[in-house]
Amino acid sequence: MKLQSKRRAFLASFLILFLVPSHSAEFEINFIEIFDENYMLEVIQELKYEKNIKRIKTLLDQKHWIERYEIKRNFFNSSSIKIYSRKPIFVWNKNSFVDKDLVIFPMNQDSISNNMLMINCPEPLLYEVFDWIKHPIDLAENKLISINYNSVEGWIFQFEDFEAKLGKSLDSYKFENLLKTIEYLYAKRKNASIVDLRSNAGISLKYDK
C-alpha cells in the first residue's frame, strides 16, 4: 500500500510539473542576423512581461520583418525564442523595406537605410521593376543609387555618375543598350550626365557643360 501511495504521489507531482500553464514560463530571446537593432529593441520591450506562448506567437506573427521564429519550452531552465530576421535589399517609397522574396515590411521610425537602394513607384509597378534589380547593370562598376518612376518620363535609374531614362516600360533590349553605352563611355572616358533610351530611334546622351 505504501508503495502504491508513493507511486500515486510521484505521478501527481509529474503531472503538476508538466501541466504548468504557459504564463509561468520565462523566455530567453535570441536574434539571428538582425539588420536593425531598433526592431530587436521593440520586440524585447513588447515581450518584456509577456509569458503566454499563444500571445507571443500572435505578436511575432504581426512582425513582417521576422522571417521565422522558433519557440522551445524548457521546464527546468528558461525557455527560449529564436528570431530570424528578413534582410532588405532596398527601400520602397521611403517608408518600407523589401527583401529578396518581395516581402514588404514597414520601416521603423529610426530604421537605418544608409547605402541602400531606394525605389519610388506605385505598388503595381514594384513587381515589374523587381525582376530587373539584379540585372547586370551593376557590373559596370557604377553603383545604382535609386530607381524612380513618374508618369511623364517613366523609369529613371540614378547611378553614381549619371542617370538613365528608360521610359515607361522595361525590357532586356533597353538594358543591353544601356550596358553597351556605359562600356562605350568608359572606354572613351566620356562623362555623360544623362543616358536617354526612351526613343526607338536611338540613344541620346547629355553632357554637363
Nearest one of 70, 83, 80 to 37, comparing CA atoms: 83
Q: Residue 35 pLDDT > 60, yes or no?
A: yes
Average pLDDT over residues 78-88: 89
Q: What is the dihedral of CA 131, 136, 137, 141, to 10 degrees?
A: 140
Cell match 545604382: residue? 144
User: What domains, with CATH codes, occur in the chain?
Assistant: 17-85 (3.10.20), 115-207 (3.40.50.11690)
Measured CA to CA, the distance from residue 88 to residue 114 in angstroms comes to 12
Q: Residue 3 pLDDT > 50, yes or no?
A: no
Q: Residue 60 pLDDT > 90, yes or no?
A: yes
HSE (side-chain half, CA atoms, 13 Å) at 186: 12
Q: What is the pLDDT of residues 144-178, one digit of tens each?
A: 899 999 999 999 999 888 899 999 988 888 888 88
- State the DSSP code for 108: P
Collapsing DSSP to helix, strand or coil, 42 comes out as: helix
Residues contacting 87, CB < 8 A, separation 6+ = 33, 35, 99, 100
